[in-house]
Every structure is written in C-alpha cells, then in structure tokens.
DNA sequence: TTTACTAAACTGACTGGTCAGTATAGTTTT
DNA sequence: AAAACTATACTGACCAGTCAGTTTAGTAAA
C-alpha cells in the first residue's frame, strides 16, 4: 500500500460521522470527505457493512495499541487498566480525537447491526483475562473497566453525566483504584 | 386516551427494533407490529423523529418511576443508586424486558441523531444532584452509576464483557458499595 | 359532530451498489 | 529502446430499491 487510501477512507468516515451526524454518513459523503470518488470507496470496501466492520476493527486496534504502549513503560499491577483508562478517556466531550471519532462510528455500527461488533466481541475474552490477571481484586477491576465504559459511552452520546470538576475527580479516583492491591477480605463476601 | 394506542405504538416500535434489527424499524413495520394502519401511526406521531423522541422519553420515565418505587420502600442512604441499579439491570443479555427494549431504541436515537437524546439530557442535572445527595461519597456514588451505565450499554450492544459468575459478583459488589457510608479519608486524596 | 381510526395508492428524495472505461506505473518482449 | 502487456487504483454516470410522509375516501363510536 503505497498511498494508504483505505486508512484515509476509514478516517474520513469517522470524521463525517462526527461532523455531519451519523445519519449523514453515506458512502457519497465519505467519498467526498476523502477527496476521492464513490467508486474508489467501493473499490477498497465491498460494501458499507465492510467499511463499518473495518472501523470497529480500527477502534479495537487503537485501544489495544494504547494499552500496549502504557504497559511497555508501566509493569506495576493494574497497568492494563491504566492503559484502558487512557484509551477510553483520550477524548473530552467536545473536540473528539481520533479515538473519539472512531467511537462514534462504533456506536453507529452497534445501532445499525449488532453483528458489526464482531471485531470488538472477539477481543472481550482476552480483555476479561487481562483484567482478572491485573493483580487487583478482579471484581473491583471489572468495575473500574465498566465505569470507564460508562463514562465513554456518555461522552460519545453527548449526555452530560458529569460536570468538569466531577469528571476530574472521578478519573483521578479510578486511577487511584488501579493502584489498590487486592484486599483479602473487606466486607466478608470474598470467595 | 381511552385505548392507549400511543403507548402501544411506542412498545411496538421498541419491539421491532429488538426483533428485526434497528435498521428495519420502519414506520410500516411499526404499524404492522402494532396491528394498526400506518395512517394511525402518523395520526399519533407527527414524524418518525417525534416517535423516537417519545421512546427516549419513555425510557427516562420508566427509569424515574423504578427509582421512585425503590425509594418509597427504602429510605437508607444510597437508595437512589439502588433504584438506578435496579432500573439499569432488569434486563439480562438475552430476553430483554420492556426497559431493555426501550434501551435499544435509545441507542437507535443516539446513533441516528444526538438531538433525540434531549429528554434524557434534561434529566441529567436532577440525577447528578440525587447522586451527590445520596449520602455516599459523591465520587464513589458517580462511579457506581457509571459502572451501571457501562454494564447496561454492553448488555444492550450484546458485547460479552462479563461471564455469568463475574456479572453476579459485580452486581453484588455495586450493591454493597451503595451501603458504604462516606469515609472521610481512605487514601489521602479527599478534598 | 368530533375523535380515532382503516385501507391503499402514491410521491419525492435519497442511497447503496454497479459498471464501463481511464490513468499510472511497472514489467516483459522484440 | 520501443511496443505490448499487466495490475492496481480510480472516475463518473447511472439505477433499482427503499422509505418517510401524503392524500383520499371512507368507517365506527361516543
């Protein structure tokens, strides 16, 4: 691939989804945004379904590589979760970064057809494993991950769940929680 | 309203979204599902946009009334969050209940047009207030809510984040967390 | 007489997908 | 070195199908 047109199309599609709204993410709009013809888009992707699938794949790839990046410099317990937090929260509500743009595409995919989430679903067993092996109490670790998901989805949808101060406090607390070692028995319900 | 046709249409629309897929939630399909004519659907709703808006409104109404129901029998600190947890988690992954169906519609709305989330966005300040006044440490309270959101969205999308045992453990832990009073200083980062 | 519909035909705009043909760069043949 | 050929990348016009929304004419009940 001399000129990475495929990558450009994916980025353009994500961009259209954010700027013009997901309902306007037509193949024509994607082509226009990428500065190529519609035919060229179909040259690279068999169908819109195929494009959407690639976008979801791109999101999981970005997430995985962010985590790997963090873990290459942080081998303490909980590093996987710190990577996951970083990947989920790189986007502020306005002015979404590349990950945020892809996230919107992810939502699109989910809404249009759940089967498009295959690339994401395929990563779940590995992620669950990573979370359970993170060195933290597994239940607490899952909760951290779910809270990150919750914050992320609300961001992507533009639902104002938290104000700026609350947001900062929540993120700091989640980060602090990734540094709490497993406590053998806190409330009497440890298996 | 002698025969609650409006309600029936909303329920039917949610049903179509779940059973036939969101992309097939056409006005014709909704009418057919409700067992009425397309004209009747347009008699009650000015447009599809209007119907979607009503579906999101219905979801927030169901959530609010579930919370109110729980709080009428539970006045301990954290009762709001226990109500919210109940509202979010009434649905198992398969076999969605009414709330789960509406949730899918919510996703649809979000994906098609963020402005459709207005009814949901309007409730956020009140929910934030309720969380902050819940009697728990506010940051922890927000995290519980976000984790519930995270579990909910993954359920709705059908992403297998947790296996059955993990799921049970996480829900129990979240419920336990709603009973933990605010600890003045646990880790040294309380304002 | 107003409210709440049914039934069915129709329109107008949009959108995913197709396809014949063109451009470019590199490779083999003569 | 020129000619012939190949693979890849892309253009741009076109189309068949879909769907929200409209219209019309009529029915049933309170």
Q: 3-state DSSP: chain A helix, strand, coil percent, rounded to 5? A: 70, 0, 30
Distances, alpha carbon A33 to alpha carbons A11, A38, B90, B118, in Å:
9, 10, 42, 29
Greater model confidence, B114 or A65:
A65
Whether nucleic acid strand C comes within 7 Å of the CB of B27, the answer is: no
Mutate to test the interface with A, among B105, B108, B110 (most CBs of A within 10 A): B110
Are B85 and B174 in contact by the 8 Å Cβ rule? The answer is: yes
Q: What is the DSSP string of A64-100?
A: HHHHHHHHHH--STTHHHHHHHHHHSS--SSS--HHH
Whether nucleic acid strand C comes within 7 Å of the CB of A42, the answer is: yes
Residues of A in contact with B56 (CB under 8 A): none
pLDDT for B179 beyond 80: yes
Under the banding of pLDDT at 50, 70 and 90, the label for residue B85 is very high
Q: How many CB atoms lie within 10 A of CB B96?
A: 20
Residue with tokens 């986007």: A91
Nearest nucleotide to B48 (CA to C1') is D20
B80's tokens: 């709001």
Nearest to A23 among B113, B159, B189 (CB): B113
Chain A: closest CA distance from residue B145 (Å): 8
Q: Does B97 touch chain A (CB under 8 A)?
A: no
Distances, alpha carbon A160 to alpha carbons A54, A67, A156, B24, B34, in Å:
29, 27, 10, 30, 34
pLDDT digits (tens, 9 = 90+) for A131-185: 999 999 999 999 999 999 999 888 888 888 999 999 999 999 999 999 987 765 4
Distance B152 CA to D26 C1' (A): 47
Mean pLDDT for A96-101 is 68
- Is residue B125 classed exposed, middle or buried when 0-12, 13-18 and 19+ CB atoms within 10 A define those classes? exposed
pLDDT at B81: 95
Under the banding of pLDDT at 50, 70 and 90, the label for residue B95 is low
pLDDT for A1 beyond 50: no
User: Which positions on strand D lie below 7 Å from a protein C-beta?
Assistant: 9-14, 18-25, 30
Whether nucleic acid strand C comes within 7 Å of the CB of B36, the answer is: yes
Are B55 and B6 in contact by the 8 Å Cβ rule? The answer is: no
A28's tokens: 């024509």
pLDDT at B183: 60
Greater model confidence, B110 or A10:
A10
Mean pLDDT for B109-113 is 70
Greater model confidence, B72 or B114:
B72
Q: Does B166 touch chain A (CB under 8 A)?
A: yes
pLDDT at A186: 46
Are A60 and A123 in contact by the 8 Å Cβ rule? The answer is: yes
pLDDT at B15: 85
pLDDT at A189: 43
Chain A: closest CA distance from residue B37 (Å): 25
Distances, alpha carbon A123 to alpha carbons A61, A64, A129, A149, B91, in Å:
10, 9, 10, 15, 23
- Average pLDDT over chain A, rounded to an integer: 84
pLDDT for B115 beyond 60: yes
Say what the alpha-carbon torsion angle A187, B159, B126, B174 is, to the nearest 10 degrees. 0
Greater model confidence, B92 or A159:
A159
Under the banding of pLDDT at 50, 70 and 90, the label for residue B126 is very high
For chain B, give the percent of residues with pLDDT over 90: 35
For chain B, give the percent of residues with pLDDT over 70: 86
């Amino acid at each position: 691939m001399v000129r990475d047109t495929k990558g450009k199309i994916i980025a353009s599609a994500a961009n259209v989804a954010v700027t013009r709204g997901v309902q306007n993410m037509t193949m024509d709009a994607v082509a226009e945004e990428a500065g190529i013809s519609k035919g060229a888009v179909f040259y690279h992707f068999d169908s819109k379904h195929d494009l959407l699938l690639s976008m979801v794949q791109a999101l999981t790839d970005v997430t995985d590589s962010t985590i790997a990046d963090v873990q290459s410099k942080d081998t303490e317990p909980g590093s996987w979760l710190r990577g996951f937090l970083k990947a989920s929260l790189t986007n502020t509500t306005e002015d979404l970064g590349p990950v945020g743009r892809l996230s919107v595409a992810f939502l699109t995919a989910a809404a249009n057809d759940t089967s498009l989430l295959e690339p994401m679903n395929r990563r779940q067993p590995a992620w669950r494993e990573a979370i359970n092996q993170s060195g933290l109490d597994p239940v607490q670790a899952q909760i951290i991950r779910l809270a990150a998901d919750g914050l992320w989805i609300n961001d992507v949808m533009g639902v104002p769940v938290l104000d700026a101060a609350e947001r900062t406090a929540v993120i700091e607390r989640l980060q602090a929680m990734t540094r709490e070692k497993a406590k053998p028995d806190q409330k009497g319900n440890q298996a």
